[in-house]
Amino acid sequence: MTEVIDGEAVAADVRADVADRVELLEHAGVTPGLATVLMSDDAASETYVSMKQRDCEEVGIEGIHVEIDPDAPASELYGTIDDLNDRDDVHGILVQLPVPEHVDTRQVLRRIDPEKDVDGFHPENVGRLVAGDARFKPCTPHGVQKLLEAYDVETEGADAVVVGRSDIVGKPMANLLIQKGPGGNATTTVCHSRTRDLEAKLSNADIVVAAAGIPEFVDGSMLKPGATVIDVGINKVDAETEKGYALVGDVDYDSASEVAGAITPVPGGVGPMTRAMLLYNTVKAAGIRHDVDVGLR
């Protein structure tokens, strides 16, 4: 029987745990604060940001939201980041990506105080992750790691294949899987658009993390029987639904679930975990800033 990995349930556990740690901070007189910055009129980005704000409210994190006109000069975003860096009530800063083309994403990510960089994208935090001394693990791969842990999927010595090498998902995912220690020690192969014979790599994998952004392109015939399949992809495809579209992953769920030992659904797999780990990082950031041991590593 294939086990369905329930991201909603694991994320609810993470949120409950985070809420307990918010109380520890409150006892020390600290209310954790997360600032979200939106410089876009993309509907999906607006939805993501409002969901993040709602999540904050649920666990007792103070949400601060700043909107910047997408046509405004880049300097307005930089100035906003500088202000948020200086604010004592802001412990985490998240600039919703993508930013408009006239804004340099790298400059944006470098400008955020690394101790408030709860996305974990600042070069200092990327370096710490690679060095095995992570401050903030990027939310999506960290969420995947938590899912594997929650379902007792052994990473030690496992052959893992990560499909995708983006800075947000693929690279940090691979970096977490190769680290020494719990949740790591996997023999990890990173595949991308220039990879030769992806099928051969997948057919040998005990753990597959699919993050290519191509609807349903990993199917059951490519998988090793019993593999754990984590589908990070969120792709909008035309469908005869009320909205006129449906969300599907990078994995063809029906065929893959006949072969896999465990699999995440889309939606309800990795997505909720990404949101939960942002709360985790924000509370961790507040603990670091005020020297309160909230017990998050």
Q: Which residues are catalytic?
A: 52, 96, 119
From 68, 112, 212, 251, residue interacting with ligand NDP (rule: CB under 6 A): 212
Binding window for ligand NDP (CB under 6 A); candidates: 22-30, 152-160, 167-175, 238-246: 167-175
Binding window for ligand NDP (CB under 6 A); candidates: 17-25, 52-60, 200-208, 228-236: 228-236
Q: Is 192 in the site for ligand NDP (CB under 6 A)?
A: yes
Identify the three-state secondary structure at position 179.
Answer: coil
Q: Which single residue is written with the structure tokens 């052994």?
A: 154
Binding-site string for ligand NDP from residue 82 to residue 121, where x marks contact by CB under 6 A and - marks none: ----------------------------------------
Identify the three-state secondary structure at position 18.
Answer: helix
Binding window for ligand NDP (CB under 6 A); candidates: 13-21, 60-68, 114-122, 162-170: 162-170
Q: Is 194 in the site for ligand NDP (CB under 6 A)?
A: yes
Q: How far is the CB of 249 from ligand NDP (least distance, A)?
A: 8
Q: Is 34 in the site for ligand NDP (CB under 6 A)?
A: no
Q: How far is the CB of 178 from ligand NDP (least distance, A)?
A: 17
Q: Is 248 in the site for ligand NDP (CB under 6 A)?
A: no
From 138, 233, 261, 287, residue interacting with ligand NDP (rule: CB under 6 A): 233
Task: Give bridge partners of residue 262 from the DSSP assignment.
Answer: 3, 228
- CA dist., res. 124 & res. 159, Å (int): 29
Q: How far is the CB of 268 from ligand NDP (least distance, A)?
A: 10
Q: Please state the length of the chain.
A: 297
Q: Find the binding residues for ligand NDP in span 129-148 (CB under 6 A).
A: 140
- Of 212, 189, 183, 186, nearest in space to 202 by CA: 189
- Of 240, 269, 241, nearest in space to 256 by CA: 269
Angle at 169 between CA 144 and CA 183, to 5 degrees: 35
From 134, 191, 259, 260, residue interacting with ligand NDP (rule: CB under 6 A): 191
What is the identity of the amino acid at 186? A
From 5, 129, 169, 278, residue interacting with ligand NDP (rule: CB under 6 A): 169
Q: Which two tokens stand for residue 212?
A: 């290519």
* 47, burial (CB in 10 Å: exposed 0-12, middle 13-18, buried 19+): exposed
Q: How far is the CB of 134 from ligand NDP (least distance, A)?
A: 18
Torsion of CA 41, 54, 280, 112, to 10 degrees: 30
> What are the Cα distances from residue 216, in Å, to 6, 77, 253, 283, 285?
19, 36, 7, 35, 36
Q: How far is the CB of 206 from ligand NDP (least distance, A)?
A: 19
Q: Given CA atoms 173, 35, 87, 77 in this order, what sign does their dihedral have?
A: positive
Residues that bind ligand NDP in the complex, under the rule CB under 6 A: 140, 163-166, 168-170, 191-195, 198, 211-214, 232-235, 270-271, 274
